[in-house]
Amino acid sequence: MNLLPAPLRLPAIGFAAALVLGSGVFYLALDARMASKTRQLAAQTAADLAARDLRQTPQRLAQDRAQSATHAHLRAAGFLGEEDRLDWLSNLARLRDSLDLQQVSWRLAPRAASPLSPGLYSSAMVIAIAPGDARRLEQFLEQLRVHAHGHFTVRDCTLLPDSGGRSTSCTLDWWTWNGQ
Amino acid sequence: MRFGRRLLLYLSAAGASCALQRNGQLSEVQYLPSEEEGWESFNALLKAHPDTAVAIAVDSVDELYRGEILPRAWGRDRAEMAQRRLRQVVHQSPYRAALRQGHERNAATRGDRYLIMGLSNPEQIRPWLDIMHLRGSPLAGIWLLPALSANLVRRFHLRDPRLLLVSEQTGGLRLTYLESGELRFSRLAPVDGSQHENPLEGYAEEIERTRQALVGQRLITREEKIKVVLIDPLNTLNELHGFLLEAAGFQCISINRSRLQEALKLPHALLTESADALYLSLLSRAPASANLSTAEQRANSRAFWLRRGLLFAAAAWLTLSVAGVLLLLGDTWRLGVQSNALQAQAMADRARETELLAAAGGVSQIRRRLAAVAAWNAVRPRDRQPAALLDAALAAGDSIGGIQLTRLTWRNNDNSEATSLSIEGDLPAFSGDYRAAHARIAALALRLGEKLPNYRVAVAAWPLNAQSGEELEGAIGGGGIDAHFQLRVSAKP
């Protein structure tokens, strides 16, 4: 403190203390105000959502009634809830017999969340059938769709025609929705 | 420190006058007797106005004025040179100042003109300063009365090159000579009324004596006329004009009370009793360079102001902070009230929504059902089958002789609503006739295009790339020749 003459020491300390105290209290008040603003914005958003949902309630009721048949179909088709892998794979064996295929081989990947919609999941299944011409492939996919408790789409298919017979491999995506 | 306040003290041998300056306005003008009685009054005044700076004007015969021309210098050099010269000229007193008065253009005496002035008897002001020291009052400065005259001349736009200001003061008759508005010389003449029946005769004698002194100091020549300005706040010097004849080299004008009050914006009653109030009012605008304070006094004054400045800044900062904090807390409270109202509104809306949707299974059930169907709608566009494209490609391949399809890859594209097909093939009986091979592949592409009118068929790779820019190499005879090709089938845009 020798840097300052004696009469100035106390005022300088007072000034520094006022600076720190004033700034500190101001900062705390600013922090409290920002927290309050954040709460207000969240409350505003929640209120807007609630108001919008309330406004849309009649439309949602009408839409729900209109889609009730679709929803029932989805439930029956195994689109809702957990995957029924046992049923899918059991159907492969049954189709091998009914379509008189020499071999059906498959590989099923773990279920993964899909970016297409919240609560939507897909499991990739690579399947190879032999012999596998176009018509047999069509029958195989059609019967699998009819009998399996689940819904799938075909991502890609490769047909290898050769002189000794044809083989086909496809990648299927099995879709389920398990949203909360 | 009371900011905007100052105590103004006029000191003379006969006594003192004091006034309080508040926001530029004079008030509480009072006469203080000399010696102890006056000091006690001054002490009481300081007690009544603690921490108020005091500016002192001294009207004394113990004064010294000396014009000097010093070499031109700047900054610290100028200050050191002036201080050195001050110590030489006014060695008997610490109260001294060098007033810089412009540049001397005479080639022989080139340099800066200074008026060195000093209070040669410091004992006159010592008791007053001691009282201030005891009371802890800061000193704003000490000025000789004539140093305030230049400001008065400017106020009245007196542009004559040679002016002699004459005013009746508590301590006597003050005679101040100014050249082009700059102070050159001044003296306080004691007034002795016993020598003349009319005291104004004595004043006229003093004015003449002053002129002779100016001639003696070579400030004017004997023949030069001089303009005498009678500063007359008490309106008592009118008859003096009769004693200062133009034939005697005087040109005399008066500035009376009403003009002074008008020009200096002084209250009506201020100049009725004492002429000192005039100079007290000028003291508030005294030139800083004519301040006679010692270096120590200036340092103390600076420290005082710095101390007060720091305290003021601290108080201002705290006040600002408190004001800011109050504003922020007020806004925080307002936002809190708004949040509560919004939350209540949201809860009411949700309750109403729940009530309306209860019959349909509740809010969450409806949301789940709608979300499930929305997800289904997102998946449904991918529901495409490969058989039609594959079948068409195989049929087209079978219809063109000499072509064997080796690999057909169908893709369900994620990013578009259409599918695509890649066809790879070979010509098993290829003998080297590229022209015939290309014709077969072109026929295959054409046939495929006919079967798939919504698709575009393009040959991605021919058995031979016959572009002139390509380097080709091959051998005919000694083995089979490959003739691979590739077709791309994609949806028309």
C-alpha neighbours within 13 Å on the C-beta side of residue A24: 6
Q: Is the pLDDT of residue B2 over 60?
A: no
Q: Could you list the beta-strand ranges (E) of B316-429.
A: 404-412, 419-426
From chain B residues 151-180, the ones with a CB under 8 A of any chain A CB are none
- What is chain A's length? 180
The sign of the dihedral angle between the CA atoms of B140, B142, B145, B151 is negative
| Chain A partners within 8 Å of B338 (Cβ) | 40, 43
Taking an 8 Å cut-off on Cβ atoms, the answer to whether B331 and A36 are in contact is yes
Query: Which chain A residues contact residue B311 at CB under 8 A?
Result: 11, 14-15
- The answer on B44 and B167 residing in a single domain is yes
Beta strands in B128-274 (DSSP E): 139-144, 162-169, 172-179, 182-189, 226-232, 250-256
* Chain A contact present for B456, CB below 8 A: no
B371 vs A119: CB contact, 8 Å cut-off? yes
CB pairs under 8 A between A and B: 224
Contact present, B144 and B58 (Cβ < 8 Å): yes
pLDDT score, position B160: 86
CA distance A56 to chain B (A): 9
Q: What would the 3-class secondary structure string for B454-487 be? A: CEEEEEEECCCCCCCCCCCCCCCCCCCCCCEEEE
Residue B417 pLDDT greater than 70, yes or no: no
Distance separating alpha carbons of residues B436 and B445, to the nearest angstrom: 14
A79-93 pLDDT tens trace: 999 999 999 999 999
- Position B415 scores a pLDDT of 61
Give me the sheet containing B53-59, strands edge to edge. B25-32, B15-22, B5-12, B53-59, B139-144
Same domain, B137 and B283: yes
Q: Does B322 touch chain A (CB under 8 A)?
A: yes
Tokens 């899909």 belong to which residue?
A114
Residue of B nearest to A122 (CA): B379
How far apart are alpha carbons B293 and B299 in whole angstroms? 10
Asked if the model's pLDDT at residue B1 lies above 50, the reply is: no
Give the least confident one: A128-132, B54-58, B265-269, B455-459.
Answer: B265-269
Contact indicator for B154, B128 with CB cutoff of 8 Å: no
Residue of A39, A119, A155 with shortest CB distance to B375: A119
Residues 265-304 (B) with a CB less than 8 A from some CB of A: 303-304
* Number of C-beta neighbours around residue B184 at 10 A: 21
Residue B113 lies in a domain: no
Chain B contact set for A133 (CB, 8 A): 394
Residue A114 near residue A121 (C-beta atoms within 8 A): yes
Contact flag A14-B376 (C-beta cutoff 8 Å): no
On whether residue B104 sits in a domain, the answer given is no
* Total tally of structural domains belonging to chain B: 3
Confidence of residue B396 (pLDDT cuts 50, 70, 90): very high
Within a domain: B91: no
Residue B361: pLDDT over 90: no
Percent helix, strand, coil in chain A, to 5, is 55, 25, 20
Looking at the complex, does the CB of residue B318 fall below 8 Å from at least one CB of chain A? yes
- Let me know if residue B53 belongs to a domain: yes
Look up residue A122 and give its amino acid.
S
Which tens digit of pLDDT belongs to each residue from B178-229? Answer: 998 889 999 999 877 677 778 888 899 999 999 999 999 888 888 888 899 9
Last residue of a domain, one of B345, B379, B413: B379
CATH number for the domain including B409?
3.30.70
Inspect the interface and report whether the beta carbons of B345 and A50 lie closer than 8 Å: yes
Quick one: average pLDDT of B119-148? 92
Mutation choice for A interface testing from B1, B320, B338, B349 by most A CBs within 10 A? B349
Residues of B whose CB is below 8 A from A74: 372-373, 376
Angle at B440 between CA B434 and CA B442, to 5 degrees: 100
- For B42, half-sphere exposure in the C-beta direction (CA atoms, 13 angstrom radius) is 30
Average pLDDT over residues B464-479: 75
Question: Based on the domain organization, do B168 and B52 belong to the same domain?
Answer: yes
CB atoms B343 and A43 under 8 Å: yes
- Residues of chain B with Cβ-Cβ distance to A154 below 8 Å are 384-386, 410, 412
- Contact between B375 and A117 using a beta-carbon 8 Å cutoff: yes
Q: Which of A159-168, B239-248, B288-297, B407-416 has the lowest mean pLDDT?
A: A159-168
Chain B positions touching A64 (Cβ under 8 A) are 360, 366, 369-370
The secondary structure of chain B in percent helix, strand, coil, rounded to multiples of 5, reads 45, 25, 30
* Residue B466 sits in the same domain as residue B375: no
Pairing of strands B162-169, B139-144: unpaired
CA distance to partner chain A, nearest, from residue B342 (Å) = 6
Q: In Å, what is the CA distance from B236 to each residue of B254, B257, B266, B274, B311?
A: 10, 10, 19, 12, 49
Contact B357 A60 (CB under 8 A): yes
Q: Which structural domain range is residue B464 located in?
A: 384-491
Indicate the pairing of strand A120-130 with strand A112-113. antiparallel
Is B101 inside any structural domain? no
Which is more confident, B103 or B326?
B326
pLDDT of residue B128: 94
> Is residue B112 situated within a structural domain?
no
Lowest mean pLDDT across A145-149, B113-117, B284-288, B374-378: B284-288
Final residue in a domain of this structure, among B352, B379, B406? B379
**pLDDT above 70 coverage of chain B, percent:** 96
Model pLDDT, residue A88: 94
Do B391 and B369 lie in a common domain?
A: no
Average pLDDT, chain B: 88
Which among A33, A47, A117 has the least Cβ separation from residue B374? A117
Q: pLDDT at position B478, please?
A: 63
Tell me the chain A residues in contact with residue B340 when contact means C-beta distances shorter than 8 Å.
Answer: 43
Smallest CA–CA distance, residue B8 to chain A, in Å, is 25
With CB atoms and an 8 Å threshold, state whether A154 touches B412.
Answer: yes
Identify whether the C-beta of residue A148 lies closer than 8 Å to the C-beta of residue A87: yes
- On whether residue B71 sits in a domain, the answer given is no
pLDDT band at B168 (very low <50, low <70, confident <90, very high): confident
Report field, pTM of the whole predicted structure over 0.95: no
In a domain, B111, yes or no: no
Quick check: A1 pLDDT over 50? no
Q: Residue A180: its chain B contacts at CB < 8 A? A: 368
**Are B349 and B398 contained in the same domain?**
no
The band of B374, judged by pLDDT with boundaries at 50, 70 and 90, is very high
DSSP single-letter state for residue B275? T
Q: Write out chain A residues lying below 8 Å of B371, CB-based.
A: 117-119, 177, 179
User: Is there a single domain that holds both residue B456 and residue B429?
Assistant: yes
Distance, in angstroms, between B477 CA and closest chain A CA? 26
Task: Sort residue B190 into left (φ over 0), alpha (ψ -120 to 50) or beta.
Answer: beta
Report whether B166 contacts B175 (CB < 8 A): yes
Inter-chain touch A22–B372, beta carbons under 8 Å? no
pLDDT tens, residue by residue, B22-76: 888 888 888 888 888 999 999 999 999 988 999 999 999 999 999 888 888 888 9
In this structure, the answer to whether residues B148 and B226 fall within a common structural domain is yes
Strand A120-130 with A103-108, pairing: antiparallel
Q: What per-residue confidence (pLDDT) applies to B25? A: 83
**Bridge partners, residue B27, by sequence:** B20
| Residues A40, B338: C-beta atoms closer than 8 Å | yes
* Same domain for B325 and B287: no
Structure tokens at B315: 């108080």
Report the CATH number that the domain containing residue B127 is assigned in CATH: 3.30.420.40
Q: Are residues B217 and B275 in the same domain?
A: yes
Pair (B270, B285) in one structural domain: yes
Do B367 and B416 lie in a common domain?
A: no
